[in-house]
């Protein structure tokens, strides 16, 4: 099973490792192969998250369980580096991750594609449309509501205060249009290797809304739930939903510094609990359980715009030699790359690169999100 830690990916380090390791990825002999893409739910979704003092517990005395964890995933895209042998799938599925372990999880397959290392692999959690494939009997009412409203997530859960057993229900119905790119397992070649018959697990984590920010390193992650407990049921309907989260604008009280760091996430300025939820949900995509992906900023919040002009573009810089900075909102501080190269980065985004130069200068430019 997967672990629940969320490790930082040191992107250039991975690139350097790739170069030094060379073609260790196995079958790249020019043949054709198949890649099956599977969905995987982190155990936090299936088993819930328990109060405790362990690394993966909620530290401030709350249990959380999910009865439904419905999400849309799809639009897998990959290439063998520099755009070569690009493959993509238009399939988008909707699945209840809470019941995935006992139901179908295969959602798309690439057949007869060139074998080798697809060093750039990604996918999306898009707003669904009428073409969405219902993978494991998600209630049609939910699917229609997701299409109608552009929701990528419907999460139905309960938070319980262990000191007295009191509980509250919450329902998160959220548009979280995220493009995940450059997925990689730590200490392995980036992306996915395609051989004769290969597969990749696309994993959604379930616990990021309890992270104390958007941490650079897993050692810094704490899971805390007091903020959710403190949300007021403003409309007195017995469940915490979007209007309640949007009304919770006292961000400094809900997410106090220095315990929380709200900078560096997919939403540049978090002004409510709703922003925090959407931003954290926009970081939950992984491969092979713990393999980190870069995530795009979240964009429009209305269904009409989620797939159109507001969609961010990813541009690849043209530099070679010194790596020239990591994408905005990915892994702050993970950039190394003040080597000796003379590459020119052509990205012009408003990102702020926070890397400090200690790299070997062997990477290629990572591109930026706009």
Strands 153-161 and 133-134: unpaired
Q: Nearer to Ca ion by C-beta: 39 or 277?
A: 277
Q: How many residues bind Ca ion, per CB under 5 A?
A: 4
Whether the Cβ atoms of residue 35 and residue 110 lie closer than 8 Å to each other: yes
Of the candidate spans 12-20, 92-100, 233-241, 360-368, the one that interacts with Ca ion by CB under 5 A turns out to be 233-241
Compare residues 60 and 233 and give the one whose CB is closer to Ca ion: 233
CA distance 308 to 327: 22
Q: Is 237 in the site for Ca ion (CB under 5 A)?
A: yes
Determine if 244 is a binding residue for Ca ion (CB under 5 A): yes
Q: Tell me, residue by residue from 158 to 187, as one string, x for binding to Ca ion by CB under 5 A and - for no binding.
A: ------------------------------
Beta bridge partners of 292: 184, 286
Collapsing DSSP states into helix, strand and coil, what is residue 192? strand
Gap between the Cα atoms of 112 and 91, Å rounded: 17
Min dist. Cβ of residue 208 to Ca ion (A): 22
156 binds Ca ion (CB under 5 A): no
Radius of gyration for the alpha carbons in the chain, expressed in angstroms and rounded: 20
With 0-12 / 13-18 / 19 or more C-beta atoms within 10 angstroms meaning exposed / middle / buried, residue 116 is buried
Instruction: Give the nearer residue to Ca ion in terms of CB position, either 3 or 168.
Output: 168
Smallest distance from Ca ion to CB 273, Å: 12
Name the E strands within 175-235. Answer: 178-184, 192-194, 197-204
Q: What is the nearest approach in angstroms of Ca ion to the Cβ of residue 248?
A: 11
Tokens linked to 362: 């062997």
Q: Which stretch binds Ca ion (CB under 5 A): 10-18, 110-118, 226-234, 264-272?
A: 226-234
Residue 342 and residue 324: Cα distance in Å, rounded? 10
Kindly tell me which of 47 and 246 has the beta carbon lying closer to Ca ion. Answer: 246
In sequence order, the β-bridge partners of residue 368 are 315
- In angstroms, give the least distance from the CB of 316 to Ca ion: 44
How many Å apart are CA 202 and CA 291, to the nearest integer? 9
Residue (of 37, 110, 103, 36) closest to 70 by Cα position: 103
Stretch that binds Ca ion, among 52-60, 75-83, 207-215, 240-248 (CB under 5 A): 240-248
Q: Supply the DSSP symbol for 312.
A: -
The answer to whether residue 246 forms part of the interface with Ca ion (CB under 5 A) is no
Q: Which of residues 115-154 bind Ca ion (CB under 5 A)?
A: none
Q: Using CA atoms, how far apart are residues 112 and 37, in angstroms rounded to an integer? A: 14
CB of 228 to Ca ion, least distance (A): 13
The count of C-alpha atoms lying within 13 angstroms of the C-alpha of 73, restricted to the half-sphere facing its C-beta, is 31
Residue 145 Cβ, how far from Ca ion at the closest point, in Å? 17
Other C-beta atoms closer than 10 Å to the C-beta of 149 total 15
Is the CB of 171 or the CB of 263 nearer to Ca ion? Answer: 171
In the list 47, 56, 65, 233, the residue contacting Ca ion (rule: CB under 5 A) is 233
Q: What are phi and psi of 280, to 5 degrees?
A: -65, -40
The stretch among 134-142, 157-165, 234-242, 305-313 that binds Ca ion (CB under 5 A) is 234-242
Nearest approach in angstroms of CB 168 to Ca ion is 10
Which residue's CB is nearer to Ca ion, number 170 or number 255? 170
Contact between 84 and Ca ion (CB under 5 A)? no
235 part of the interface to Ca ion, by CB under 5 A: yes
> Could you tell me the sign of the dihedral formed by the alpha carbons of 30, 36, 367, 352, in that order?
negative
The one segment of 35-43, 138-146, 228-236, 273-281 that binds Ca ion by CB under 5 A: 228-236
* Stated length of the chain: 370
Cβ proximity to Ca ion: between 235 and 271 the closer is 235
Is residue 353 within the footprint of Ca ion (CB under 5 A)?
no
DSSP label at residue 303: G
Nearest approach in angstroms of CB 177 to Ca ion is 25
Interface residues with Ca ion (CB under 5 A)?
Answer: 233, 235, 237, 244
């Amino acid at each position: 099973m997967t672990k629940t830690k969320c490790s930082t990916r040191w992107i250039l380090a991975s690139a350097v490792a790739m170069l030094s390791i060379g073609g260790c990825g196995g079958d790249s002999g020019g043949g054709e192969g198949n890649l099956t893409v599977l969905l995987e739910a982190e155990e936090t979704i299936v088993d819930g998250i328990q109060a405790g003092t362990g690394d993966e517990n909620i530290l401030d005395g709350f249990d959380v369980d999910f009865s439904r964890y419905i999400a849309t995933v799809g639009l897998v895209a990959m290439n063998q580096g520099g755009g070569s042998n690009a493959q993509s799938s238009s399939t988008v599925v909707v699945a209840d991750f809470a019941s995935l372990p006992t139901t179908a999880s295969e959602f798309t397959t690439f057949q007869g594609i060139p074998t080798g290392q697809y060093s750039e692999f990604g996918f999306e959690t898009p707003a669904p449309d009428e073409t969405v494939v219902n993978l494991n009997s998600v209630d049609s009412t939910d699917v229609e509501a997701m299409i109608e409203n552009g929701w990528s997530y419907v999460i139905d859960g309960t938070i319980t205060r262990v000191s007295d057993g009191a509980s509250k229900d919450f329902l998160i119905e959220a548009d979280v249009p995220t493009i995940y790119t450059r997925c990689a397992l730590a200490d392995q070649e980036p992306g996915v290797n395609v051989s004769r018959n290969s597969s990749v697990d696309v994993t959604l984590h379930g616990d990021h809304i309890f992270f104390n920010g958007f941490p650079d390193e897993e050692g810094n992650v704490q899971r805390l739930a007091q903020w959710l407990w403190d949300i007021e049921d403003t409309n007195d309907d017995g469940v915490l939903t979007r209007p309640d989260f949007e009304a919770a604008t006292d961000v400094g009280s809900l997410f106090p510094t220095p315990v929380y760091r709200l900078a560096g996430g997919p939403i540049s300025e978090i002004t409510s609990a709703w922003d925090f939820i959407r931003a954290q949900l926009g970081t939950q995509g992984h491969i092979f359980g713990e393999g980190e992906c870069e995530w795009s900023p979240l964009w429009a919040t209305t269904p009409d715009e989620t797939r159109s002009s507001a969609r961010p573009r990813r541009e690849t810089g043209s530099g070679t030699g010194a790596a020239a900075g990591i994408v905005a909102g990915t892994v702050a501080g993970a950039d190394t790359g003040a080597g000796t190269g003379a590459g020119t980065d052509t990205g012009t985004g408003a990102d702020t690169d926070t890397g400090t130069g200690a790299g070997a200068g062997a990477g290629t430019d990572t591109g930026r999100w706009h």
